[in-house]
Amino acid sequence: MALPKYDPEEQLRKEKEKAEWRVNALEQYRKELLDNPEYAEYAKQYRLNPGMLEEFARHYANDKVHWMEWGEQFRKWQEKEDMKWINDAFDRLKEIQQKKLFDMQCLWRAEQLDIPGIQCSADFEYWEFRIFNCPFLNKITPEELTMYQQYLESLNFEFKQGWLDRWQDYDMIKGAYNEAGTNRNFPDWYDFYNGRTGKSIYFTLPNTRGDKEQFYLSLWREEFHAKNKQLMEDPNTEKRPWLNYHEKDYLKWFVTTYDDKLTQKMFEDYGELNWDSIDDELDENIKLLSEEGFPLPIQGWFDWKEAIQKIADNLRLQKIAEALPEAYQQYCMQYDMNLGFPEDDPDYWKENTDMWKGYILRGRELNGEPRDFDF
């Protein structure tokens, strides 16, 4: 879904209208309270200093402006907070479909399964981010839900993968399965699923289709590097590097090199020490535990932060397990009524998939073959 275009003039107009509303509302609420006979009668029971009724009315009007402006939004935020475990459990159901999709990818790569609409391996990455809308995956069954509930109770439940890890990353996942010391872990859910279904056999299948794609991609890369080399040899080509503001330690170097001593001191105090001392995960864990209305026993551990992490994770597991049946009912309703499921930025993954398809087709062309996927 494309983001709405930012219009500075429209934004300025809205801010001006909101500012005018605040001024008018403040005076309206203040006057309404002072003109209210019930308020005057109520105030008679108190000993009041001169001007106290006016002062109270002004404070009350100011608070009311905040309530009227932000009350509905805060209610929505609270509803979202109350729904977080249902939403979390709903996302967990996607992991069931991810494993089914990965198994199909293994069979497709081994040329043991033909899937309508799948032309190249990049298509699986596309459907990874539209997993509930994938047209060739069967509905999650009660038996699959029960298996995932058993996984929740296992000792190896994995709350989340690494930031860059993907559920359909065939090469890295298969490498983690077959070799020790790879750059990523083998997903614990895949391991649990394999142990109860015997589908680890899929990880021994050959990557026949992937090898064919790599052949054509190698031809495209060879052409690309040749063109890039020719471009870089052109004296008119810009060869200066890009400025990478987010490069590690770049900001520290820039401040130290170009700014004065006072700024350097402020940067050290605020930019380095304070930001490094913030422990968002610890704050999140403490907030989660403090919201419970009953005592939570904590086990002794070498590091008190890890002890808090353990009890917080146990609580999260409990919350997810409790919410999973309701999340499954919601999933079934949307699936059975063909309502579809919301997606995050599907256009990006479509463009990425089409790009890789273009590389393969160019490789086919360079090899004197038709620009199609019949290989």
Are 111 and 138 within one domain? Answer: yes
Domain stops at, among 82, 104, 137: 82
Say if pTM beats, i.e. exceeds, 0.85. Answer: no
Over residues 12-64, the pLDDT tens digits come to 677 678 778 888 888 888 888 788 888 778 777 777 677 777 887 787 787 77
Select from 50, 66, 82 the last residue of a domain: 82
pLDDT of residue 125 exceeding 50, the answer is: yes
Tell me, yes or no, whether 89 and 182 share the same domain: yes
* Mean pLDDT (the chain, rounded): 82
Predicted confidence (pLDDT) per residue in 103-115, tens digit: 999 999 999 999 9
29 residue type, one letter:
Y
What is the spatial distance between Cα 260 and Cα 102, in angstroms, rounded to a whole number? 55
For 3, 21, 26, 189, 308, the CA distances from 13, given in Å and listed in that order, are 20, 12, 20, 51, 48
Domain count, the chain: 3
Q: Crossing angle for the helix pair 84-109 and 142-152, nearest 10 degrees? A: 110
Of 105, 97, 163, which Cα lies nearest the Cα of 130?
97
Sign of CA dihedral 321, 326, 330, 333: positive
Q: Which residue has the tokens 């990818």?
A: 105
Q: How confident is the model at residue 277 (pLDDT cuts 50, 70, 90)?
A: very low
Cα 365 to Cα 216: distance, rounded to the nearest angstrom: 9
| Whether residue 249 is found in the same domain as residue 167 | no
User: Is residue 62 situated within a structural domain?
Assistant: yes
List CB contacts of 25: < 8 A, sequence separation 6 or more. 61, 64, 65, 68
- Given a cut of 90, whether residue 195 has pLDDT beyond it is yes
Residues 35 and 140 in one domain: no
245 and 131 in a common domain: no
Query: In this model, does residue 373 exceed pLDDT 80?
Result: yes
Q: Does 236 fall in a domain?
A: no
Q: What residue numbers bound the domain in which 117 lies? A: 85-211+339-366
Q: Are residues 110 and 183 in the same domain?
A: yes
Residue 372, in any domain of the structure: no
Distance CA 223, CA 213 (A): 16
- Give the residue from 104, 110, 107, 106 showing the smallest Cα distance to 138: 104
Contact 152, 327 (CB under 8 A): no
The CA R_g of the chain, rounded to the nearest whole Å, is: 30
Same domain, 204 and 349: yes
